[in-house]
Amino acid sequence: MLAIKTEKLTKKYKDKTVVKDLDLSVNKGEMYALLGVNGAGKSTTIKMLSCLIKPTCGDATLLSNSIISDSTKVKQIISVSPQETSVAPNLTVKENLEFIAGIFGFSRAQAKAKTQQIIDQFDMKEIENSRAKTLSGGWQRRLSIAMALISEPSIIFLDEPTLGLDVLARRDLWKQIEKLKGKITIILTTHYLEEAESLSDRIGIMANGILKAEGTADELKKLAKTDDFEEAFVRIAGDEI
Protein backbone atom coordinates (compact mmCIF):
# COMPACT_ATOMS: atom_id res chain seq x y z
CA MET A 1 0.00 0.00 0.00
CA LEU A 2 1.21 3.49 -0.84
CA ALA A 3 1.86 5.94 2.00
CA ILE A 4 2.67 8.88 -0.28
CA LYS A 5 1.72 9.49 -3.87
CA THR A 6 2.38 12.74 -5.68
CA GLU A 7 0.92 13.62 -9.05
CA LYS A 8 2.57 16.35 -11.10
CA LEU A 9 3.37 18.21 -7.88
CA THR A 10 4.69 21.64 -8.82
CA LYS A 11 5.73 24.75 -6.92
CA LYS A 12 6.50 28.05 -8.60
CA TYR A 13 7.65 31.30 -7.03
CA LYS A 14 6.82 34.01 -9.59
CA ASP A 15 8.52 32.75 -12.76
CA LYS A 16 10.90 30.36 -10.98
CA THR A 17 9.87 26.70 -10.85
CA VAL A 18 11.28 25.15 -7.69
CA VAL A 19 9.62 21.73 -8.01
CA LYS A 20 8.37 20.56 -11.39
CA ASP A 21 5.85 17.80 -12.14
CA LEU A 22 7.02 15.57 -9.32
CA ASP A 23 5.61 12.04 -9.50
CA LEU A 24 6.68 10.14 -6.45
CA SER A 25 5.44 7.00 -4.74
CA VAL A 26 6.53 5.84 -1.31
CA ASN A 27 5.33 2.57 0.16
CA LYS A 28 3.96 2.19 3.66
CA GLY A 29 6.74 1.46 6.17
CA GLU A 30 9.42 2.41 3.66
CA MET A 31 12.40 4.66 4.42
CA TYR A 32 12.82 6.93 1.42
CA ALA A 33 15.77 9.31 1.16
CA LEU A 34 15.48 12.45 -0.91
CA LEU A 35 18.88 13.63 -2.09
CA GLY A 36 19.96 16.66 -4.02
CA VAL A 37 22.34 19.57 -3.94
CA ASN A 38 21.23 22.88 -2.35
CA GLY A 39 18.29 24.33 -4.27
CA ALA A 40 17.32 20.97 -5.77
CA GLY A 41 13.78 21.26 -4.40
CA LYS A 42 13.95 18.76 -1.50
CA SER A 43 12.89 21.15 1.27
CA THR A 44 10.12 22.63 -0.88
CA THR A 45 8.84 19.11 -1.57
CA ILE A 46 8.85 18.32 2.16
CA LYS A 47 7.08 21.62 2.91
CA MET A 48 4.35 20.83 0.38
CA LEU A 49 3.91 17.27 1.67
CA SER A 50 3.70 18.48 5.26
CA CYS A 51 1.09 21.13 4.32
CA LEU A 52 3.34 24.06 5.18
CA ILE A 53 3.00 25.50 1.67
CA LYS A 54 0.44 24.88 -1.04
CA PRO A 55 1.53 23.51 -4.41
CA THR A 56 1.08 25.74 -7.44
CA CYS A 57 -0.42 22.78 -9.24
CA GLY A 58 -0.63 19.03 -8.89
CA ASP A 59 -1.55 17.19 -5.71
CA ALA A 60 -0.25 14.62 -3.27
CA THR A 61 -2.04 12.11 -1.10
CA LEU A 62 -0.71 10.89 2.22
CA LEU A 63 -2.48 7.66 3.17
CA SER A 64 -5.22 8.72 0.75
CA ASN A 65 -5.60 12.21 2.26
CA SER A 66 -5.00 15.10 -0.12
CA ILE A 67 -2.57 17.81 1.00
CA ILE A 68 -4.89 20.34 -0.65
CA SER A 69 -8.37 19.29 0.41
CA ASP A 70 -7.62 17.24 3.58
CA SER A 71 -4.71 19.16 5.14
CA THR A 72 -6.19 18.88 8.66
CA LYS A 73 -6.28 15.08 8.38
CA VAL A 74 -2.79 15.06 6.88
CA LYS A 75 -1.46 17.06 9.85
CA GLN A 76 -2.89 14.45 12.21
CA ILE A 77 -0.97 11.59 10.58
CA ILE A 78 2.37 13.23 9.87
CA SER A 79 5.18 14.68 11.89
CA VAL A 80 8.20 16.76 10.95
CA SER A 81 11.62 16.92 12.53
CA PRO A 82 12.94 20.17 11.04
CA GLN A 83 16.47 20.73 9.81
CA GLU A 84 17.59 22.82 12.76
CA THR A 85 17.06 21.49 16.24
CA SER A 86 13.58 22.60 17.18
CA VAL A 87 12.93 22.21 20.86
CA ALA A 88 11.49 24.55 23.48
CA PRO A 89 14.71 25.67 25.21
CA ASN A 90 13.40 26.40 28.71
CA LEU A 91 11.35 23.21 28.95
CA THR A 92 12.82 19.95 30.21
CA VAL A 93 13.06 16.91 27.95
CA LYS A 94 9.98 15.44 29.59
CA GLU A 95 8.02 18.70 29.28
CA ASN A 96 8.95 19.09 25.61
CA LEU A 97 7.59 15.63 24.88
CA GLU A 98 4.42 16.12 26.93
CA PHE A 99 3.86 19.47 25.22
CA ILE A 100 3.94 17.97 21.72
CA ALA A 101 1.70 15.07 22.80
CA GLY A 102 -0.73 17.65 24.23
CA ILE A 103 -1.01 19.77 21.10
CA PHE A 104 -1.66 16.62 19.08
CA GLY A 105 -4.71 15.97 21.26
CA PHE A 106 -3.49 13.36 23.76
CA SER A 107 -4.99 13.64 27.25
CA ARG A 108 -2.66 14.52 30.12
CA ALA A 109 -2.47 10.88 31.28
CA GLN A 110 -1.86 9.63 27.74
CA ALA A 111 0.80 12.30 27.18
CA LYS A 112 2.64 11.25 30.36
CA ALA A 113 2.49 7.57 29.42
CA LYS A 114 3.65 8.24 25.86
CA THR A 115 6.46 10.42 27.19
CA GLN A 116 7.82 7.68 29.44
CA GLN A 117 7.59 5.20 26.60
CA ILE A 118 9.53 7.42 24.19
CA ILE A 119 12.10 8.36 26.85
CA ASP A 120 12.83 4.64 27.28
CA GLN A 121 12.85 4.06 23.52
CA PHE A 122 15.39 6.84 22.96
CA ASP A 123 17.46 6.10 26.10
CA MET A 124 16.83 9.58 27.49
CA LYS A 125 16.18 8.63 31.12
CA GLU A 126 19.34 10.32 32.38
CA ILE A 127 18.41 13.67 30.80
CA GLU A 128 14.63 13.61 31.19
CA ASN A 129 14.63 16.44 33.74
CA SER A 130 17.29 18.55 32.03
CA ARG A 131 16.25 21.71 30.23
CA ALA A 132 16.58 21.36 26.47
CA LYS A 133 18.91 24.35 26.13
CA THR A 134 21.48 22.67 28.38
CA LEU A 135 21.74 19.54 26.21
CA SER A 136 24.50 18.81 23.71
CA GLY A 137 23.73 19.04 19.99
CA GLY A 138 23.41 15.27 19.72
CA TRP A 139 20.95 15.00 22.59
CA GLN A 140 18.93 17.97 21.30
CA ARG A 141 18.64 16.32 17.88
CA ARG A 142 17.62 13.05 19.49
CA LEU A 143 14.97 14.89 21.49
CA SER A 144 13.83 16.66 18.32
CA ILE A 145 13.23 13.32 16.59
CA ALA A 146 11.57 11.89 19.70
CA MET A 147 9.22 14.91 19.69
CA ALA A 148 8.33 14.15 16.10
CA LEU A 149 7.50 10.56 17.02
CA ILE A 150 5.48 11.07 20.19
CA SER A 151 2.32 11.93 18.27
CA GLU A 152 2.42 8.40 16.78
CA PRO A 153 2.60 9.62 13.17
CA SER A 154 2.14 7.25 10.26
CA ILE A 155 4.58 9.29 8.20
CA ILE A 156 7.58 11.22 9.51
CA PHE A 157 9.74 13.73 7.66
CA LEU A 158 13.33 13.89 8.89
CA ASP A 159 14.95 16.94 7.36
CA GLU A 160 18.75 16.68 7.64
CA PRO A 161 18.49 14.84 10.99
CA THR A 162 22.25 14.57 11.60
CA LEU A 163 23.40 17.90 10.15
CA GLY A 164 26.19 19.44 12.21
CA LEU A 165 26.64 16.46 14.52
CA ASP A 166 30.00 14.82 15.17
CA VAL A 167 30.61 11.30 13.86
CA LEU A 168 29.77 9.55 17.13
CA ALA A 169 26.54 11.48 17.65
CA ARG A 170 25.62 10.88 14.00
CA ARG A 171 26.18 7.12 14.24
CA ASP A 172 24.26 7.08 17.50
CA LEU A 173 21.31 8.80 15.85
CA TRP A 174 21.46 6.44 12.88
CA LYS A 175 20.90 3.55 15.28
CA GLN A 176 17.80 5.29 16.63
CA ILE A 177 16.49 5.95 13.11
CA GLU A 178 17.19 2.36 12.05
CA LYS A 179 14.99 1.12 14.90
CA LEU A 180 12.05 2.91 13.24
CA LYS A 181 12.47 1.16 9.91
CA GLY A 182 9.42 -0.80 8.85
CA LYS A 183 7.29 0.61 11.66
CA ILE A 184 6.44 3.94 10.06
CA THR A 185 7.03 5.59 6.71
CA ILE A 186 10.08 7.83 6.81
CA ILE A 187 11.10 10.51 4.36
CA LEU A 188 14.68 11.51 4.96
CA THR A 189 16.53 14.40 3.40
CA THR A 190 20.26 14.49 3.87
CA HIS A 191 23.51 15.73 2.42
CA TYR A 192 25.38 12.78 3.87
CA LEU A 193 25.33 10.26 1.04
CA GLU A 194 26.55 7.39 3.22
CA GLU A 195 23.62 8.11 5.54
CA ALA A 196 21.13 7.70 2.69
CA GLU A 197 22.93 4.63 1.34
CA SER A 198 23.06 2.79 4.65
CA LEU A 199 19.67 3.75 6.07
CA SER A 200 17.24 3.96 3.16
CA ASP A 201 15.19 1.37 1.34
CA ARG A 202 15.00 3.61 -1.73
CA ILE A 203 16.58 6.90 -2.75
CA GLY A 204 15.32 9.69 -4.98
CA ILE A 205 17.77 12.17 -6.49
CA MET A 206 16.46 15.64 -7.27
CA ALA A 207 18.13 18.37 -9.31
CA ASN A 208 16.67 21.69 -10.45
CA GLY A 209 13.25 20.76 -9.10
CA ILE A 210 13.04 17.52 -11.05
CA LEU A 211 13.26 13.95 -9.77
CA LYS A 212 16.17 12.73 -11.89
CA ALA A 213 16.23 9.10 -10.75
CA GLU A 214 15.04 6.82 -7.98
CA GLY A 215 15.69 3.31 -6.79
CA THR A 216 17.80 1.40 -4.30
CA ALA A 217 21.40 2.49 -3.81
CA ASP A 218 22.52 -0.48 -5.93
CA GLU A 219 20.05 0.37 -8.71
CA LEU A 220 21.27 3.96 -8.81
CA LYS A 221 24.92 2.84 -8.96
CA LYS A 222 24.02 0.49 -11.79
CA LEU A 223 22.20 3.28 -13.60
CA ALA A 224 25.23 5.55 -13.29
CA LYS A 225 27.59 2.70 -14.22
CA THR A 226 29.76 3.02 -11.13
CA ASP A 227 30.40 1.13 -7.90
CA ASP A 228 30.72 4.29 -5.87
CA PHE A 229 27.47 5.83 -4.60
CA GLU A 230 28.91 9.33 -4.36
CA GLU A 231 30.05 9.11 -7.98
CA ALA A 232 26.60 7.84 -8.94
CA PHE A 233 25.01 10.82 -7.21
CA VAL A 234 27.35 13.27 -8.95
CA ARG A 235 26.62 11.76 -12.37
CA ILE A 236 22.84 11.70 -11.87
CA ALA A 237 22.50 15.10 -10.17
CA GLY A 238 25.03 16.64 -12.53
CA ASP A 239 23.12 15.60 -15.67
CA GLU A 240 25.94 13.38 -16.87
CA ILE A 241 23.63 10.50 -17.67
Partner 1 sequence: MRTLVFASRNTKEITRDIFTLIFGILFPLVLLVLLSAINSSIPEGAGMKLFEITNLVPGISVFGLSFISLFTATLVSKDRCTSFILRLFTSPLKSSQYIAGYTLPLIPMSLLQIIVCYIASFAFGLKWSANILLAIVVNLPTTILFIAIGLLCGTVFNDKAVGGVCGALLTNLSAWLSGTWFDLELVGGAFEKIADMLPFVHAVNAGRYALYGEYSKITGELLWVIGYALVITVIAVMVFSYKMKQDK
Q: Which residues contribute to the site for partner 1 (CB under 8 A)?
A: 47, 50-53, 72, 75-76, 78-91, 95, 99-100, 102-105, 131, 147-148, 151
CA distances to 5, 8, 18, 38, 75 from 59, in Å: 9, 7, 15, 24, 16
**What is the rounded end-to-end Cα distance, in angstroms, of the chain?**
31
> Measuring CA to CA, how many Å separate 192 from each of 5, 82, 157, 227, 239?
25, 16, 16, 17, 20
Report the alpha-carbon distance of residue 143 to residue 81 in Å, rounded: 10
CB of 240 to partner 1, least distance (A): 34
CB of 12 to partner 1, least distance (A): 16
Task: State how far the Cα of 115 lies from the Cα of 94, in Å rounded to an integer.
Answer: 7
- For 111, residues 6+ apart whose C-beta sits below 8 A from its C-beta are 97, 98, 101, 102
Of the pair 102, 215, the CB lying nearest partner 1 is at 102
- Smaller CB separation from partner 1, 6 or 92: 92
Shorter beta-carbon distance to partner 1: residue 53 or 223: 53
Q: Which is nearer to partner 1, 95 or 152 (CB)?
A: 95
Closest alpha carbon to 195 in 180, 179, 175, 215: 175
User: For partner 1, which is the closer residue by CB, 104 or 174?
Assistant: 104
d(CA 62, CA 67): 7
Element (H, E) at 210: strand 210-215
In the complex, what is the shortest distance from the CB of residue 129 to partner 1, in angstroms, rounded to a whole number?
13
Q: Nearest approach, Cβ of 150 to partner 1 (angstroms)?
A: 11
Compute the least distance from the CB of residue 165 to partner 1, in Å: 16
To partner 1, the closest distance from the beta carbon of 105 in angstroms equals 7
The span from the CA of 35 to the CA of 50, in Å, is 18
Given the complex with partner 1, which of 72 and 168 has the nearer CB atom?
A: 72
Pairing of strands 185-189, 31-36: parallel
Name the minimum Å distance from CB 220 to partner 1: 29
Our CB check for partner 1 shows the closer of 99 and 174 to be 99
